[in-house]
Amino acid sequence: MLTITKNQHLSQILRLAMCAAVSIPSFWYPFYIACKFAEYDHRMGSIAFGFGFPFLILAAYFSISTLNKLIHGLKSFPAHRRYIMCFIGVILAAPSVLGVFTAIINMAVMFLYLLIYCCRELLF
The pLDDT, as a whole number, for residue 24 is 81
Q: Which residue has the higher pLDDT, 16 or 102?
A: 16
Angle CA 93–94–98, to nearest 5: 130
> Rounded to an integer, what distance in angstroms lies between the CA atom of residue 28 and that of residue 30?
6
- Range in 13-22, 43-52, 62-71 with the lowest mean pLDDT: 43-52
